[in-house]
Amino acid sequence: MTNPRQLAFIALRDVHKGAYADVALDRVLQKVNLPDNDRRLVTELIYGSVRRQRTLDTLIDQFAKKKSHQQPPDLRTILHLGFYQLRYQERIPASAAVNTTVQLAKENGFSGLTGFVNGLLRQYLRKAGGVGEAGEENTVSSLHTDPLQLPENPVERLGILHSFPDWIIQVWLEQLDFEETEQLCEWMNQSPTIDLRINPLRTSIDEVEAALQSVGILVNRIPHLPQALRFIGNTGSIQKLPGFKEGWWTIQDSSAQLVSHLLDPQPDEVIIDVCAAPGGKTTHIAELMADKGKIWACDRTSSRLRKLQENSQRLNLRSIQIYTGDSRHFNQFQNTADRVLLDAPCSGLGTMHRHADARWRQTPESVLELSGLQKELLTHTSTFVKPGGVLVYATCTLHPAENEEVISAFLAESPDWQIESPGGFELPEFVHSTPQGWFKVWPHQQDMDGFFIVRLRKTNNSE
C-alpha cells in the first residue's frame, strides 16, 4: 500500500488513540518505500491535521448535522483529511481533495456515507465561492470567502481560527497584545526550519557551508551565533549529508545554541548539566570548553542518555561523563561545579511548531505539575554550584508559571543568589533582556524557537 492519504489516515487513527504524531508517522513510513514527494505529502497531512484539529472539528460542527465528537472516530479522521486539504493545501486541486476523501471513506468502511462526505466538502467549497462542482479545478487560493464562522470572543476566535486550546491563547494574551498573539499563532503553525551547529573542534563554518553547497544544499548563517547555519529548502536524509558522520556538525535550533553561550563555560572547569539528554547542549558545552575539563551529564532516562553518548562519540568529544538518575536526589555534587546548566523539563510551548500534538497534550494542570518539578530541581541543583559559580536556568516554554515565577520564587528564598548579565558572549540585539535581567526569545519576532533563559550567580560569601 503506497497511497499517501491512506497512510496518513492510518497514522492519524493511531494519534487519535493516543500515539505521538512523530511516532505514528515513523511507523507508517518505515513500512513502505515512498518517493520523496509522497513522503512529504504524508508528513504534511499528518502534522497539519493534528495541528489544525480544532479548526477542522469546528468545520465539521458547522456543516454536518452531528457534531465532530459524535461522528464515528474514523469518519472524523477522514473528514479532517478532506477539510485540511481544501483549506490549507495550496497545491492540491479542490476536486482532487474531494474525490480522494470520498475514496478514503469507501475503502475504510464508510461506503454507505460517501454521499455525505462528498456533500459536506462540496458545501464548504460552495460557501467559499469556489463553486465546487465536479471537474472544476479550483484550489485553496482561488476561494473568495472563508466559510469558517468565528465567535466574537477574542480568545475563542484566535483559538478556533489558529487551532489552539483557549488556555494557551489566554497565556499569550496576558503577555502580548491581540495582534502579536495572532502572529505567534501563525508562526507556530508553520513547518519548522532546521538549524545545525558546527563543531569548531573538527571544522569551520566555511568548510561546512562549502561541503553542503557541493551537494546542492543551501544554508544561511544566523547573525551573532558563530556556529549556527539554517537549512533552506528540503535536505533529504540528514544522516547522509556531508560532514554528519565525520562529526563536523549536529542538529540544534539556534535558540538552544544561545543557552550554552550564556553559560559561557571555560576550559578546565567542572560543569554539571543536570537534565542533559538527549545532549544538544551538553555537546555544545564541550565544544565551547575545547573539550578540556569535566562535564557531568545527568539524566534519569537511560535510553535518552544513549542518544547523548552516540552524539558525543560522533562529535569525538571526550570530556563528557554520563550519570544516570534523578538530579533532585544527588548529594555527591554539593559545591563541586564551576557552572551548572538546568535546562528544565517543561511544557514546550515555545516549540509547538516542532511537536504537532503538544498543544493538545499539555493542560493548565500539567503546567502546574511541571512548575513544581522545576522549583525542586532549581532548589536542589543550585547546591551543586561552588561559591562564586554560575547557574543557567533555561526552558523552551513561554509560560510565566514555568519561567518568571520559578525564578522569582527561588530568588525570594535564596539570598546568596542573584541574576547577572551574560558573560563573555555578546548576545544578539534581538534577545530582549527584561528589566529583571532574564531573557526571552519570542518566535514570531526572532524566527527561532521560543525560549526563556536566565543566568544566576552564587555570591562568594555563601557557604
Write out the catalytic residue numbers: 396
CB atoms under 10 Å from CB of 304, counted, come to 14
Cell of 102: 470520498
Strand, helix or coil at 212? helix
Residue 403 CA, chain-centre distance (Å), reads 17
Asked if 32 contacts 1 with a C-beta cutoff of 8 angstroms, the reply is yes
What's the Cα-to-Cα distance from 123 to each of 115, 129, 131, 444, rounded to whole Å?
12, 10, 9, 35
Asked if 90 contacts 139 with a C-beta cutoff of 8 angstroms, the reply is yes
C-alpha–C-alpha distance, residues 58 and 327, integer Å:
44
C-alpha–C-alpha distance, residues 276 and 443, integer Å:
24
Asked if 205 contacts 227 with a C-beta cutoff of 8 angstroms, the reply is yes
- Which residue's C-alpha cell is 466559510? 147
Cell of 462: 555563601
What's the Cα-to-Cα distance from 111 to each of 16, 88, 107, 118, 223, rounded to whole Å?
22, 26, 7, 11, 55
Residue type, 279: G
Burial class of residue 451 in the structure, from the number of CB atoms within 10 Å of its CB (0-12 exposed, 13-18 middle, 19+ buried): buried
Q: What is the dihedral of CA 60, 62, 66, 70, to 10 degrees?
A: 50
The residues, ordered by sequence, that sit 6+ positions from 27 with a Cβ below 8 Å of its Cβ are 11, 14, 19
Residue type, 320: I
C-alpha–C-alpha distance, residues 79 and 56, integer Å:
8
Strand, helix or coil at 218? strand
The residues, ordered by sequence, that sit 6+ positions from 340 with a Cβ below 8 Å of its Cβ are 271, 272, 273, 274, 381, 382, 384, 385, 389, 390, 391, 392
Q: Given its phi and psi angles, is residue 247 left (phi above 0), alpha (psi -120 to 50 degrees) or beta?
A: left
Q: What does the angle CA 252 – CA 257 – CA 259 come to, to the nearest 5 degrees? A: 135
Q: Given its phi and psi angles, is residue 266 left (phi above 0), alpha (psi -120 to 50 degrees) or beta?
A: beta
